[in-house]
Amino acid sequence: MKNRIQSIDILRGLTIFLMIVVNTPGSWSHVYAPLLHAKWHGTTPTDLVFPSFLFIVGMSMYISFKKKQKNNRSVLYKVLKRGLLIFLIGLALNWFPFYHKNIADLRIFGVLQRIALAFLVAGIILSFIKNRKAIIGITTILLLVHWGILYFFPSGTDPFALEGNISGPLDIMLVGESHVYGGFGIPFDPEGLLGTLSSAAQVLLGYLVCGYFMLSEKLVTDKTSNLIFFGLVAIGLGLLWNTIYPINKPLWTGSYVFFTGGIITFVWAALIWSIDIMKIEKWGFIFKVFGQNPLISYVLSIVIVKILMRIIRLDDSNGYALLYQKVFQPVGDKLGSLLFALSITMLVWLFAFWLYRKGKVIRV
């Protein structure tokens, strides 16, 4: 753990912290606007959380691949094994606690499944291709191919609309309507298969940004300034592309990749300046704890929520709703909902802190 890059750990931990907070409000009817996703086009602060995790997956891949021997077959095997395990964990979380849903109606995709597939695509590419310019080219191709499929093969009049994009019908064709997310009012999965193309590009973007910082022989302060410049350029590219290709998280559009990737790069540069250059790092301890065990922390948060909702049943209600209503809602609807989310987050943090104190890092 001595050789860990503090700013990356804290960025990863901040992402997990926010991911748990936005996923566990006391009531979805009472949530502060910044903690909600955009309904379709556009972004909110919450829409930065998931791409941050994928971006950091790419950063971690650069560090991990740099340490491994140049054995493409060995690296590829580990990529395939880890990707499959993450996908299966996500599938198990969708099904947990197992007795309440028939496997015939189980949602196939999800957050961990999207991470697994994006990791697999990026990992397979990086197992064989090391040239930076080639990786930039492949990243561009992934984004353009995704754009082209959406634009040239719409299922309606508007290729980027909820009911006009090809992504939803493609998932239904591949896995069946009963296995697709229905939270948009129609069968459409925001973590569906087609979005894997741009999601993998987001991973590769994180890989490239981390590679620039780690490989460049420039002074750290110069590299940090360049990261800020790159972040601003990426944000500008995202906004420019947005004029014809909307920034959209459910579709995971290329403009969304650039826009969020730029903001994440900007945030990482700020963390490098604060933590790695100025050595102002005590404030980040809570996030550092999460950052060393992100996957198990996220999984535990989902398990706790599902135990409260599915297993603990009282007075024709569930433990989740009753806990919010009886303990947190009296201080205010939205404030109580936020405090509920923070309480779940802190409960998970205590477990992550125990792992931190023991020096344990749980990987798959």
Same domain, 70 and 213: yes
Instruction: Provide the residue type at 170 as one letter.
Output: L
Q: Phi and psi of 313, rounded to 5°? A: -120, 125
Instruction: Name the pLDDT band for 363 (thresholds 50, 70, 90).
Output: confident
- Res. 47: pLDDT tops 90: yes
324 domain-assigned: yes
The C-alpha atoms of residue 136 and residue 349 are separated, in whole angstroms, by 37
Same domain, 287 and 275: no
DSSP structural state of residue 272: I
Same domain, 236 and 132: yes
3 domain-assigned: yes
Same domain, 109 and 139: yes
Question: What's the chain's average pLDDT?
Answer: 93
Domain-terminating residue out of 280, 308, 328: 280
194 domain-assigned: yes
Is the peptide bond preceding residue 330 cis, with omega within 30 degrees of 0? no
Token readout for 64 is 């991990």
Question: Pairing between strand 317-318 and 313-314?
Answer: antiparallel
Instruction: Provide the residue type at 83 as one letter.
Output: G
364 domain-assigned: no
Confirm if 13 and 286 have CB atoms less than 8 A apart. Answer: yes
pLDDT, tens digit (0-9, with 9 covering 90-100), for 81-105: 999 999 999 999 999 988 777 888 8
Domain-terminating residue out of 280, 313, 339: 280
316 domain-assigned: yes
Same domain, 46 and 11: no
pLDDT, tens digit (0-9, with 9 covering 90-100), for 154-206: 999 999 999 999 999 999 999 999 999 999 999 999 999 999 999 999 999 99
Instruction: Provide the residue type at 147 as one letter.
Output: W
Expressed in angstroms, the distance from the first to the final Cα of the chain is 17
Residue 204: give the domain boundaries: 42-280
Same domain, 316 and 174: no
| Helix (H), strand (E) at residue 314 | strand 313-314
Higher pLDDT, 69 or 335: 335
50 domain-assigned: yes
User: Could you tell me which of 127, 8, 115 has the C-alpha nearest to residue 65?
Assistant: 127
Same domain, 50 and 29: no
239 domain-assigned: yes
Same domain, 202 and 102: yes
Same domain, 93 and 181: yes
User: Could you tell me which of 144, 163, 120 has the C-alpha nearest to residue 254?
Assistant: 144
Domain count along the chain = 2
Domain-terminating residue out of 249, 280, 311: 280
Note the pLDDT of residue 69.
57
The C-alpha atoms of residue 183 and residue 20 are separated, in whole angstroms, by 19
Confirm if 15 and 45 have CB atoms less than 8 A apart. Answer: no
Same domain, 27 and 97: no
Average confidence (pLDDT) over 302-311:
90
Note the pLDDT of residue 6.
86
Instruction: Name the pLDDT band for 1 (thresholds 50, 70, 90).
Output: very low
Same domain, 49 and 133: yes
Same domain, 88 and 228: yes
Kindly provide the residue ranges of all beta strands, DSSP E only, lying in the chain, ordered along the sequence: 313-314, 317-318
Note the pLDDT of residue 4.
63
Confirm if 143 and 134 have CB atoms less than 8 A apart. Answer: no
Average confidence (pLDDT) over 339-345:
97
User: Tokens 């945030």 identify what position?
Assistant: 267
363 domain-assigned: no
- Res. 5: pLDDT tops 80: no
For residue 27, the SS3 value is coil
Token readout for 71 is 């054995």
The C-alpha atoms of residue 156 and residue 20 are separated, in whole angstroms, by 35
Average confidence (pLDDT) over 64-80:
80
